[in-house]
């Protein structure tokens, strides 16, 4: 199926809308893009079947004694999607809405993300169904350690390396590393990434995802002949990723006109002083109440007058219902899966340049790779070295994806999937099939 890109006037090949069956099921929504990319690559039927299925899905029960003495049993997951290119890599989230479909989709995303930036990892993801907000620090530690022991046969620097995700952090990674190390009877720092720097974490890791978003946004602006200075940016999600990206883009001369978090959004046509926003959030924990901006909703932020929209909150925020209202020329996906498959077709028809999640937010896993390398070698880099190497990898990946997009006349998302699938498939062909 073809349509006309309204900004270039060129015919662009797009997957038929009937290919995209669901805006709700995260795995099928993600795999619909995979299916179309595989079709464009003429991927052989056997490899298609291999790459469309996870290698391993683990479901565990996690009994935890609460502080009051009652025992609660939680359900945990760990999915290894594909490990042909190296150890599985992927975060662990603690959330009441965790599902096996979601974890599987995120594990597949990690597979393609690692391949896009060409680092030697496969994809994994983990999660526990719980509400961390109702749990004490002691309960969270017991939950983490019991979950770790339940999946310990999978974990290891050469097999499966977790990282922080939703509602997990450096502290949780420290518990995982300690639990694993106690079982192995020696300290194994390289079993997780996103650890405190004092115990083998990497400098620059906390800022890496936001920095990666900044790097590819600058590349996109350059590709479209748009100056960075004065570029109007709206950031949905002023957490770790969004706040860092906003700060770094502002330092490059961009104007941050809209921001939001779970408490709501703010708009300032003249641009925010990001340093003041960061100070406010550090003290108040949320954006609500910040005096130098007009209160807006998250929906209004998405439709705001800007050059760059950076969704860095949750999945499925840009859908077929609101995609037509977006005014941005460039979308940089700081979050995983912020745009549904049906929305993609609308954005492309509008001529909006989308930097897909598996490229845009790959800075985090890239510096996680750096952390893993540093832990294994026992030699640690200064922050300038980390940032310089991140910039080189992200810049190269952006160039390779745009080259693929131009060559095959597809959008950036399909091009990123094509590049990733091509790399993973090539390794499968070289390795052959063990029988």
Angle at 45 between CA 159 and CA 15, to 5 degrees: 100
DSSP string, 10-62: -EEE---GGG---SS-HHHHHHHHHHHHHHHTT--HHHHHHHTS-SEEEEEEE
Q: Exposed, middle or buried by CB within 10 Å (0-12, 13-18, 19+), for 67?
A: exposed
- The number of beta carbons lying within 10 Å of the beta carbon of residue 429 is 11
Q: Which one, of 280, 281, 237, lies nearest residue 259 by Cα?
A: 237
Q: Exposed, middle or buried by CB within 10 Å (0-12, 13-18, 19+), for 180?
A: buried
Q: Is 329 a catalytic residue?
A: no
417's tokens: 């999937």
* Strand pairing class (330-332; 353-355): parallel
CB within 8 A of 365, min separation 6: which ones? 89, 110, 113, 114, 117, 119, 121, 163
Selecting among 89, 113, 125, 342, the annotated active-site residue is 125
CB within 8 A of 227, min separation 6: which ones? 221, 253
> Which residues are the active-site residues?
125
């Amino acid at each position: 199926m073809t349509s006309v890109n309204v900004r270039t006037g060129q015919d662009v090949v797009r997957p038929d809308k009937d290919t995209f069956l669901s805006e709700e099921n995260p795995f099928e929504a993600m795999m619909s893009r995979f299916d179309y990319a595989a079709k464009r690559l003429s991927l052989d039927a056997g490899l298609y079947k291999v790459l469309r299925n996870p290698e391993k899905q683990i479901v565990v029960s996690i009994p935890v004694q609460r502080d009051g003495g009652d025992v609660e049993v939680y359900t945990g997951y760990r999915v290894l999607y594909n490990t042909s290119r190296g150890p599985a890599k992927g975060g662990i989230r603690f959330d009441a809405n965790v599902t096996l479909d979601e974890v599987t989709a995120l594990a597949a995303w990690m597979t393609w993300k690692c391949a896009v930036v060409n680092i030697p990892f496969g994809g994994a993801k983990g999660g526990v169904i719980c509400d961390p907000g109702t749990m004490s620090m002691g309960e969270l530690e017991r939950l983490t350690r019991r979950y770790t022991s339940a999946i310990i046969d999978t974990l290891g620097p050469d097999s499966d390396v977790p990282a922080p995700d939703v509602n997990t952090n450096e502290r949780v990674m420290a518990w995982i590393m300690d639990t694993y190390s106690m079982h192995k009877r020696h300290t194994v720092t390289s079993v997780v990434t996103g650890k405190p720097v004092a115990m083998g974490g990497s400098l620059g890791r906390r800022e890496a995802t936001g920095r990666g978003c900044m790097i590819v946004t600058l590349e996109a602006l350059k590709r479209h002949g748009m100056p960075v200075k004065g570029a109007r940016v709206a950031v949905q999600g002023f957490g770790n990723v969004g706040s860092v990206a906003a700060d770094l883009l502002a330092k490059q001369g961009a104007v941050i006109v809209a921001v939001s978090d779970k408490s709501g959004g703010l708009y300032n046509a003249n641009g925010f002083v990001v340093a003041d926003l960061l100070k406010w959030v550090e003290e108040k924990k949320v954006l609500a109440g910040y005096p130098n901006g007009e209160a807006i909703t998250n929906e209004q932020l998405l439709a705001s007058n800007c050059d760059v929209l950076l969704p860095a909150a949750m999945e499925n925020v840009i859908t077929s219902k609101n995609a037509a209202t977006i005014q941005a020329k460039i979308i940089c996906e700081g979050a995983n899966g912020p745009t549904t498959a049906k929305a993609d077709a609308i954005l492309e028809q509008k001529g909006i340049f989308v930097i897909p999640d598996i490229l845009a937010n790959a800075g985090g896993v890239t510096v996680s790779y750096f952390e893993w390398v540093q832990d294994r070698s026992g030699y640690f880099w200064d922050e300038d070295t980390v940032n310089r190497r991140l910039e080189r990898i992200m810049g190269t990946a952006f160039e390779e994806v745009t080259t693929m997009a131009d060559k095959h006349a597809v959008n950036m998302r399909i091009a990123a999937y094509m590049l990733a699938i091509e790399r993973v498939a090539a390794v499968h062909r070289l390795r052959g099939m063990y029988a």
